[in-house]
Amino acid sequence: MPRIPYREADVALMARMMRAEAEGEGKQGMLYVGNVIVNRAVADCSDFTEVRTIDDVIFQVQGGNYSFEAVQKGNAFYQRARDAEKRLARRTLESWREHPAKYALWYFNPYAPCPPTWYGQPFSGQFKQHCYYEPAPGTCDSVYS
């Protein structure tokens, strides 16, 4: 059973986002971005209480900007989804989760060492250039399901 319900259009959209955000970090990096996307759709806390679908997650606007830089800036996000990334997207939609993004709701590339917290959220780990952050204990139990 998948972690969230999805359609083929969701797979393609998610594949485009994974590629745009982490192509330079290889398959593993793209899988981690996929974890964050699915985790946001599952989470019922923080900025994600009204975000339930892949479309909701990818096109969410916070503070007047899209949550994902790739949507705002274009680049690879607006290219057609490739089969390799679609396979990765399906893996994360179905069940794949792994540390440091297993429960992460946020990631970013600080172009410096990863800070121990980010907006009060604890650092869960780093993969190549991206730092991953999961909710502070007791603030978002739904992401751990």
- Mean pLDDT, consecutive 10-residue segments, the chain of 145 residues? 96 96 96 98 94 96 92 83 97 97 96 95 97 96 90
**Burial state string for 122-132 with b = 16 or more CB within 10 A and e = fewer than 16:** ebbbebeebbb
Is there a contact between 106 and 121 (Cβ–Cβ < 8 Å)?
yes
Q: Is the peptide bond before 100 cis (omega within 30 degrees of 0)?
A: yes
Per-residue confidence (pLDDT) for residue 110, from 0 to 100:
93
Per-residue confidence (pLDDT) for residue 73, from 0 to 100:
83
Per-residue confidence (pLDDT) for residue 127, from 0 to 100:
98
Is there a contact between 88 and 18 (Cβ–Cβ < 8 Å)?
yes
Per-residue confidence (pLDDT) for residue 32, from 0 to 100:
98
Q: Which helix (H) or strand (E) holds 120?
A: none
Per-residue confidence (pLDDT) for residue 76, from 0 to 100:
74
Per-residue confidence (pLDDT) for residue 124, from 0 to 100:
98
Global pTM value: 0.96
